[in-house]
Amino acid sequence: MARKPLIAGNWKMFKTHLDAIRLVQGLAHELAGHNFESVEVVVCPPFTSLRTIQTLIDSDRYEFGLGAQNMHWESEGAFTGEVAPGMLKSLDVDYVILGHSERRELFGETDEGVNEKAKAAFANGLLPIICCGETDAEREAGSTEQKVDRQIRAALDGLKPDDAARAVIAYEPIWAIGTGKTATPEDAQNTISYIRKVVAQSSGEDVAAAMRILYGGSVKSGNAAALMGQSDIDGALVGGASLEASEFAAIVKATK
Ligand code: PGA
C-alpha cells in the first residue's frame, strides 16, 4: 500500500492563541482546493492553542490534523506542568511529536522516556511522530547511523506491529534544525532508507514498508520538492517555515 505523504508544522513555542487563529485561517485560505487525500497536513501548535484550533477545525470543517508537541506517559498524577495523553485525546488531537531533539537536549528526555510515551500514545488513540537525528559532531565522526539506530530501536521497543506500522518517524539532523542548512536530498534519502532497514529488522518488513518516515531540518518551499521527491521520504516536519501560511502551504503544494 502506498504511504500517504504527511506535512506537519511544528510551531514550537511561537504564536499566542490569537496568532494561532490567524495562522490556521490563513493556511486554510492558502490551501483551498488542496486534495487532503493525497497529502495529509497537520499543525502542531503549543498546548495553549490546541483547544482554539480544534474548535476552528470542527466549526469551519478544516481538513487539517491536529498535533501536540509533547506529553507525559502517565494517565494522570502529581506531575506539575505536564499534560496527559487522555487530555490531548479529549481535544481530538490526532498526533503527538515525541523526542524532538530540543526536548532531548534542553529538557533531558531519554530514549526510554520516548518509548514510554510512544506506548502511552497508542494506548490513548494518538499517533506518535518520533524524532531522531545526529548532532554535527556525530555526523563528522561518521556515527549518524549508529545514533539513529539506537534511537529508533529504543522508541519502537515493545510496540505491537499494528501500532508500529502507524507510527511516524521524523529524521531531523540536529545541525539542520533552524540553521538554514539542509541535508542534501541524497543524504536525507540515504539515512531515511537506513532507518527503514532498522525498522524492518526490529519490527518486520511489513511495518517498515507501511511506516511513514519524514525529513525535518530547514525545510522550505525552495527545497521541499527535491526532498519530497526521494523514494523513502514520506513528508516533512517543518519548524520555522510552518509559522507563515503561504510558505507552509507552498511546501504542501510541492509535495507529491
Ligand atoms: P526547522 O525545524 O524547520 O525550523 O529547521 C524543524 C523542527 O525542529 O522540527
What average pLDDT does this structure show over 180-187? 93
Mutate which of 100, 101, 134, 172 for ligand 1 pocket (most atoms within 8 A of beta carbon): 172
User: Residue 78 carries which DSSP code?
Assistant: S
Residue from 40, 102, 138, 172 carrying the catalytic annotation: 172
Identify the pLDDT of residue 105: 97
pTM over 0.85: yes
Residue 1: pLDDT band (50, 70, 90) is: low
Q: Which amino acid is at 38?
A: S
Q: Report the sign of the C-alpha dihedral through residues 169, 174, 176, 178, in that order.
A: positive
Q: What percent of the chain has pLDDT over 70?
A: 100
76 CA from centroid of ligand 1 (Å): 30
Please determine, for residue 256, whether its predicted confidence score (pLDDT) is greater than 90.
Answer: no
Averaged confidence pLDDT in the chain: 97
100 annotated active-site:
yes
Residue 16 has pLDDT above 80, yes or no: yes
- Cross-strand bridge partners of residue 68: 96
CA dist., res. 57 & res. 139, Å (int): 40
Does the annotation count 105 as an active-site position? Answer: no
In this model, does residue 244 exceed pLDDT 90? yes
Q: Are 69 and 97 in contact (CB under 8 A)?
A: yes
Residue listed under C-alpha cell 490534523: 65
Average pLDDT in the 137-157 region?
A: 97
With cut-offs at 50, 70 and 90, classify the pLDDT of residue 92. very high
Confidence of residue 45 (pLDDT cuts 50, 70, 90): very high
Average pLDDT over residues 39-53: 98
* Mean of pLDDT values over 199-208: 98
Instruction: Please tell me the distance between residue 218's alpha carbon and the centre of ligand 1 in angstroms.
Output: 6
Is 150 within 8 Å of 156 (Cβ atoms)? no
* Cβ of 177 less than 6 Å from ligand 1: yes
Which atom of ligand 1 lies at the shortest distance from residue 240's CA? Answer: 4
Atom of ligand 1 nearest to the CA of 10: 9
